[in-house]
Structures are given as structure tokens and as C-alpha cells.
């Protein structure tokens, strides 16, 4: 495996699961590709938005690795709290995510 691929895998360990849709440029950045895009020439850079494995612990790492946004599911929405009539937990957790993203982008 080339060094550039190894470096890209460290930045985005789960990206290769999208086999056939992604490619690496000479700098080790991931690009989306399809037949029409390939025929047009160099791959246009895309904004990656991780939607799996995003938590309060991993959010900063995703942003620092170049994610343009985060898709947060179960780590944001506490179903038990909502069922118990306490949606404030979701609001508080959302504020925590926003703080983490702001700090990671600074």
C-alpha cells in the first residue's frame, strides 16, 4: 500500500467502505468519482460529512481532519430523555457539539 494511501486512511479510516466511489489525489485528499466525473477530467473536491461514529469524543478529530459538517445521531438524541419529557438534554448536547466544532475550527 502506498504511503499516500496509508496517510489518507489515518485521516478517514472508514472512507474506503465506499469502494469505487472515492479516489485519492496526489496530496492524499479523498475525492468523489463516477463515470461522468471521470470523463470530465480531474476529480472535483467534495465536502465530506461523516455520519457514523460521530460523538462528543470524536467530533473534534473529524473537523480537524477536514469534515465540513457532522451528522450526529444517537449521541445527540437521547431517546430516553425525550420519552421522559426532558428534551433539554438534547439541546445541551447540541450546544456541546457546537462548542467542540467551533474550537476545532479555531
Q: What is the dihedral of CA 44, 47, 48, 54, to 10 degrees?
A: 170
Residue-wise pLDDT tens for the chain (106 aa)?
667 667 766 766 655 555 566 666 777 666 666 667 666 666 556 677 888 889 999 999 888 888 889 999 888 888 888 889 888 888 999 999 999 999 999 9
Task: Give the phi and the psi of residue 57 in degrees, each rounded to 5.
Answer: -80, -35
Indicate if 76 and 91 belong to the same structural domain: yes
Same domain assignment for residues 100 and 72: yes
d(CA 106, CA 99): 11
Report pTM.
Answer: 0.60
Residue 1 belongs to what domain range?
Answer: 1-46
Distance CA 42, CA 66 (A): 20
* Total count of domains within the chain: 2
Shared domain for 63 and 88, answered yes or no, is: yes
Amino acid at each position: 500500500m502506498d504511503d499516500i494511501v496509508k496517510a489518507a486512511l489515518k485521516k478517514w479510516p472508514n472512507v474506503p467502505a465506499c469502494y469505487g466511489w472515492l479516489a485519492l489525489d496526489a496530496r492524499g485528499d479523498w475525492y468523489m468519482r463516477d463515470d461522468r466525473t471521470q470523463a470530465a477530467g480531474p476529480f472535483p473536491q467534495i465536502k465530506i460529512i461523516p455520519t457514523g461514529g460521530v460523538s462528543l469524543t470524536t467530533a473534534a478529530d473529524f473537523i480537524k481532519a477536514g469534515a465540513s459538517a457532522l451528522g450526529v445521531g444517537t449521541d445527540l438524541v437521547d431517546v430516553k430523555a425525550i420519552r421522559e419529557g426532558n428534551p433539554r438534554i438534547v439541546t445541551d448536547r447540541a450546544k456541546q457539539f457546537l462548542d467542540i466544532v467551533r474550537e476545532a475550527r479555531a
